[in-house]
Every structure is written in C-alpha cells, then in structure tokens.
Structure 1
C-alpha cells in the first residue's frame, strides 16, 4: 500500500506529536500533511519526511497566530491535496485535519485524540484565552462544528485514544471507534529513587487544566507543591498562591524526570482525554491524586496506584491529599500499571487494529513476527 500521514499541526512536541512519531515509524517513507509546521520543532519520527503544509504557510508569523485563524482552517484544509494514488491515509487529529480531501480509492483511518474541545464542550474556557479567540468562537463555531461533523462522516475507521474519547466520538460524530491508548515513554523513568517532601504538578497553565484547585488546596494545607509549566493562567495562579507553592516555568526533560522520580505524589486536577503525565508519574513510581473524570479513570487504579477526589474544589482535593498518609503505595506496582501504555504496547495494538480492518502494514510482521494474522474478533482496548 501507498500510505500518507496527516496531523493537525506540528508546532510543539507533545502527546499528539509522540503519537504521530510512533505511527510514522510504522510507515517508513510516508509523506506528512499538516495545516502548519514550525520547522524548528524536531519530531524524530518525521524529521526526514516530506511535510506538506496548507496555504496558511504564506501568512507572516503564522506560528504565533495559527490558532487565532481558526475560522480559516476549513478553507485551508479543503485546498490541500493528497495524491489520488494513496491507498491509505492515517490521520492523527485533535482538530479539523480529518477533513482533508481524498481520492475515491483512498481509505482513511483517523487516530482521534479528541473531537475539538473548543467546538463541542469547552468553548467558554477557550474564550478566556484572548478577546480574538472569543470573537472567533462566538461567530464561527456553528460553521466549524458543521465542517468537523461532515469530515468525521468521511472517515472509514476511527481509533480513539481512550474510552472517554470513544464516547465523545459517538456523542458528537455518531461513529463507533476502537480504543488504542497513546504511547508513553515508560522506559525513560526510574521508579526506585528516594521520595522527597513535595508534590508535583506538570501542566500547561491554561484555565481548563484547573491548576487553581491544586494551588488553593496546597496553600490552605501549607504543604509544598512544585508547579512545572507555563501559560496564560500563570499570573493569576501566582497571585493566589501561598509561600509553599513553587512555580518553575517550563523545564527541560531532565528536570521534569527528576521531579517525577522524587515527588511524593503527582497531582492531576483537570479532565483530560487520556492524560500522559499521570502515566509518566506512575512509571516513576509516584502515586497520582486525580479528579475522578476523563482518561485518569482508565490509567490510575484507585488505592493501588493513586487516589481520586470527587469535585474540582480545594476542599475535595485536600481530603484526598490527607488520605495519602493512610494508603501504602508500592512503586513497583505503580510502574507495572504504567507499562501497559508503553511504546511497544501502542505499536502492537495499533498494528493489530489496522490488520483487523484489512490494512496489514509491512512493519507488522517485521516488528512482531510471532503474532501472525489477527482474528476478526480482536479488540484493541486495554483492559483496566
């Protein structure tokens, strides 16, 4: 088969780009189609690929304004062209790239990180980012949702990154999907380091992440909380933080890894579609304190690898933090849970899911010669 790849945009190296990287490794030589691309961002799996971008590339300083130009995205995507001799397009999408035009013979498998949250359910949170974003969503949301829904109907198969997202695909697109959890570099972390007396937040400091809940809770408790990350909410969070809250901004991976491996617990107060950081924390042997919603319910085992709180309030989080003292967590068991989301596990499930639909990539037998052909009854959801 001739295979092409698509991704919403390459403007950072985060969870979505890690998925693209792993898929690209399974599809050597495939071209990549993106809305826009910051060429200073190195995504190892695609660094030697031909990357096709949309007409947005002609706009000055597009790397700063691409999200503010959301109303232009459908037009830009419609003008993109995937060659008609491509047999299979695999898209990695959390926005609108699934709407890229295809020839009649091209099949389309979409790995969906999420139906775009700013269109379907979190518009009010995203409007707080800027006045321009608020105006764009107020005026153009209906048309953008229509484009997104119609694009989803032209996808042949959906892969969801969690059961939580699979439900959202069904609710918003009326489509079924198979769950393949995203890859986490579990081998990058050591679960045997000694723990220190601080808890950790690692996050973009955006309103919907609800880091304010953690800052308020730890300020009330007078306990040490290290916050790694930056974003539009940082000034507000610093204004409500007490002296035990330490803001470190963005940090290189070595610093992040050290904090994962030595924190007493990892705190996760938001709702994420999957949430890679709780898995990284568990790979480091740290228990997770998470709000009981979203992807955390699929990656954290209550009273074994973490604890949940019921409401996004400081008092509810405080109760869970205090309960940490009464529960014994085994770092080895915590890491064992994280390994269910490793690179190898992602590749195995992804390749078997494609093979189950009749798309057997050459890398299937090269990577897993002992697996053989899969049965029609294969289901790729990881049991939790």
Structure 2
C-alpha cells in the first residue's frame, strides 16, 4: 500500500519506521526512524511498545498535509512547524488489532499488552481526532474504525496487481523450465489455496474443501505452519501438493490453471481472492470480511456462512468451477492499480489544487515490513 502511495504522489517526502529493502524507491529519499538503527528492527513484536512514542517524536515538518498508511500506530505521526490548517489523511488497514481486537492478534494476549491496553486505546482514540479524513480499505474495516475511534471513514479498496496479471496472457509461458515441470506434474482439475502458512489462514479447510469435492488440492506459500500443513496433507483422502515459496509467475500460473481458489480466512480485505479472479479463477470464500465485498456470489464465486459442512463445501466447489471465468477477469478490474490511484487522488483532492504534490508541502508516512 505504501508503495502505491509513493507512486501516486511522486513529489511527497517519505517516512517510515524502517525498510528492509535497500534503495526501495530509486531517486526518492526515504527517511527511517531511530528504530532502523537498532536490533528492534529484527524483532518486530518487541518493537511494538516503542512505536507509539517514535511516531509522535519531534521531526522536521512544515508540511501542508500528510498521507498516512497505518495498521498499527503510524496515524499518530506528528511534524514540527505544521501550519494551523495542516491536514492528515489517514488510510487504515485496521486499528491496531492487538490493542482493539486481541482475539485476532496473539500479540495482545500477553500480560503487558493487556495491562497497557486501556491506556493505549484511550490514546489511540485521541490521536484519531486529529485526522482531517479517514479512509478504510474495506467496509469491514470501516465498521472497526467506527467502533474503535468513533470516526466515520470512506472506503477505498487497496490496489491489486490486476493489470499485471492480465497483461501476461498465459503465465505458464513465463515460468522457468523447473517451474513448468512442477506445474505440469500437478493432477487436474485441482483446488488451490495460497497464503502464508499460519494458523489463521485456515489452509486446512482448503484441504477439507478438496476432500469434500473429491478433487486434488494444491497449497502454495511459505511460513512457520508448513510442518502442520504437511501432516494434514499426508492424512488427506485426496492428493495434496505443497508448492513452497512460489515466484509471482508460478503463483499466477497456479491461479490460471486451478479449477477454483478456496479462501477460508476472514481478512480485512484479502488480496489473493482478487488476484485469483484477475486470472479468471472463481473463488470459494466466507460471507464475512473483505471477501464478501470483492467476490460476487454466484457470478465470480460462491460465498458460504461457514466451512463446517462437507456437503455445502462440495456444492460450493462444484458450483464455482462452473462459473464464467471471463466474468471473473472483468470484475477484478474494479480493484486494479489505476482505480486506486484515481480514488486516492480524488480523496486527497482538497490538499492540492493542481492534483499533484509539491515536495515542500506534503509527506507520505506509513508502516513498512512491520
């Protein structure tokens, strides 16, 4: 998201806690905070308590306005010498989950977070009153913003690489020989699941969907839950193949060649279901969270109340596989980079009469790699 903001406003000064990518924005100066020079940048969970005062610390300013991307505390950011009419536009991926929704983030389960939680919530809500305008990445998050901060928000869906996915034609043609051999060896038709291998993504339910429909399953990604998924795959009643750390080209080729993409997680938005639709693949997901806003039930996928029933899973996979893949590709275009650029510029239009940002007047700040 921060990358997209940087591209949309090429004249803005840039600020982040730290960046793990060297020369992330060639030709642009990216200012990192003091945390970038400490071991805390390698221990993100331990860095969390330092983030609040770091964002609020004194730093050069004089800006007319700032555009902030936040999922933790970036929206607390302040600048010296700001004019009285300084405007802070805040794009919210979620109010800090471990503060406001600890059941969704295990970082909020410890003694220290629970102890300081009430004070952090009060401070977070107070800082939210400073925002000139708030945008949420989905209606699902908009409700969370209203509950947490007492603020309304516009909904601007984040950018998905729709144009890139659709410009390539057949992604199998862009694979290395080893990748193509790997793709060709997969049993067909197959059900695809892809994400980080962590428990809340519920990739075990992708296996359950394949078992219910009697179809092979492919799981793509990487993460600490790999061993657990491999154990689940070994005991499955259908063939399950794990594709570790696929390249973008391999992931896009998997999207294109899957019968359906199954996404059991409850996400604030959910990039991968949109990527799958951009590749022409229908989605089976939940009628909750961002998926309910991006997938057209009965047109580009099938939405379920839960994944508990094998019979409903089987019916959903079968119905989704029969949907029009061209309709999936067309619908996904609503979530492309150009659409986002137009909306974010329109949303901040009051900040710049020329529709462009003068370097001396604006800043973009946000959380990278946190």
8 Å Cα contact 2:283/2:320 also seen in 1? no
SS at match of 2:348: helix
**Counterparts of 1:225 and 1:101 in 2: how far apart (Å)?**
49
The CA deviation string for residues 76-114 of structure 1, in whole angstroms up to 9 with x for no partner, is 22225241x111100011111100123343210011112
| CA drift at 1:313 | 2.8
Aligned residue in 1 for 2:6 = 24
**Counterparts of 1:359 and 1:198 in 2: how far apart (Å)?**
50
The CA deviation string for residues 194-240 of structure 1, in whole angstroms up to 9 with x for no partner, is 99411211212222222232233434555221111122322222222
* Alignment pair present for 1:345 and 2:339: yes
From 131, 138, 141, give the equivalent of 1:155. 131
Label 1:361 to 1:202 Cα distance change in 2 as closer, same or farther (>3 A): farther
Aligned residue in 2 for 1:362 = 355
Structure 1: runs of 5+ lacking an equivalent: 1-18, 365-384
Aligned residue in 1 for 2:295 = 300
8 Å Cα contact 1:183/1:341 also seen in 2? yes
8 Å Cα contact 2:70/2:93 also seen in 1? yes
Aligned residue in 1 for 2:316 = 320
SS at match of 1:362: coil
The CA deviation string for residues 17-46 of structure 1, in whole angstroms up to 9 with x for no partner, is xx2222222322322111122134x65xx3
Label 1:135 to 1:213 Cα distance change in 2 as closer, same or farther (>3 A): farther
Aligned residue in 2 for 1:201 = 193
Structure 2: runs of 5+ lacking an equivalent: 173-186, 358-370
Aligned residue in 2 for 1:49 = 28
From 295, 304, 312, give the equivalent of 1:309. 304
**TM-score normalized by structure 1?**
0.79
**What is the count of residue pairs matched by the alignment?**
334
8 Å Cα contact 2:97/2:104 also seen in 1? no
Aligned residue in 2 for 1:375 = none
* Alignment pair present for 1:240 and 2:236: no
* Alignment pair present for 1:223 and 2:202: no
8 Å Cα contact 1:289/1:321 also seen in 2? yes
Aligned residue in 1 for 2:68 = 91
The CA deviation string for residues 266-315 of structure 1, in whole angstroms up to 9 with x for no partner, is 11101111111111111111000001101111111111100011114363
My pick for the range that moved more, 95-104 or 154-163, is 95-104
**Counterparts of 1:247 and 1:314 in 2: how far apart (Å)?**
24
Label 1:360 to 1:199 Cα distance change in 2 as closer, same or farther (>3 A): farther
Label 1:232 to 1:277 Cα distance change in 2 as closer, same or farther (>3 A): same
Q: Please, what is the CA RMSD of the aligned residues?
A: 2.6
SS at match of 2:333: helix
The CA deviation string for residues 320-348 of structure 1, in whole angstroms up to 9 with x for no partner, is 224436xx311211111000111111111
My pick for the range that moved more, 167-176 or 194-203, is 194-203
Aligned residue in 1 for 2:38 = 59
Aligned residue in 1 for 2:119 = 143
SS at match of 1:89: strand
SS at match of 1:23: helix
The CA deviation string for residues 141-167 of structure 1, in whole angstroms up to 9 with x for no partner, is 333323322221111100111111112
Q: How does 1:277-296 map to 2 (within 5 A)?
A: 277-296=272-291
Label 1:80 to 1:212 Cα distance change in 2 as closer, same or farther (>3 A): farther
SS at match of 2:88: strand
| CA drift at 1:69 | 2.3
**TM-score normalized by structure 2?**
0.82
**Counterparts of 1:26 and 1:310 in 2: how far apart (Å)?**
37
